[in-house]
Amino acid sequence: DGGITQSPKYLFRKEGQNVTLSCEQNLNHDAMYWYRQDPGQGLRLIYYSQIVNDFQKGDIAEGYSVSREKKESFPLTVTSAQKNPTAFYLCASSIDYGEAFFGQGTRLTVV
């Protein structure tokens, strides 16, 4: 089935560690996005990518990094520089004027 897959669903990280969240899509979409969602809040854009090997910062990029080496994959690394990383992370992909498809999210908890 076509779709967008995030893994893992739940992730625990010790303070000071980097952690990478996976996002894969087989929809042949050019654009991919990462969002962060805190309890009771809307989605905030972290990074987005329009094409392979190109990406731009969103509203809250500090403490995060991404790569886009393949069209299908857009992994997000939460670095130790992110002071409050506990959140729900959502990945999405879209074509230019089409709807965005979202993964089911990764819930990251710092312990």
Q: Which one, of 32, 104, 27, lies nearest residue 67 by Cα?
A: 32
Could you give the angle at the alpha carbon of 46 between the alpha carbons of 44 and 50, nearest 5°?
115
DSSP, collapsed to helix, strand or coil, labels residue 55 as: coil
Site membership for other proteins, residue 34 (CB under 8 A)? no
Q: Between 35 and 78, whose beta carbon lies closer to other proteins?
A: 35
Binding residue count for other proteins, defined by CB under 8 A: 28
Calpha distance 24→74 (Å, rounded)? 7
Least gap, CB of 99 to other proteins (angstroms): 4
- Residues 51-90, mask of contacts with other proteins (x by CB under 8 A): -----x-------------------------------x-x
Which residues, 6+ apart, have CB-to-CB distance to 82 below 8 Å? 62, 63, 64
Which residues, 6+ apart, have CB-to-CB distance to 97 below 8 Å? none
Site membership for other proteins, residue 31 (CB under 8 A)? yes
Site membership for other proteins, residue 17 (CB under 8 A)? no
Site membership for other proteins, residue 35 (CB under 8 A)? yes
List residues binding other proteins (CB under 8 A): 30-33, 35, 41-45, 48-50, 56, 88, 90, 92, 94, 96-97, 99-105, 107
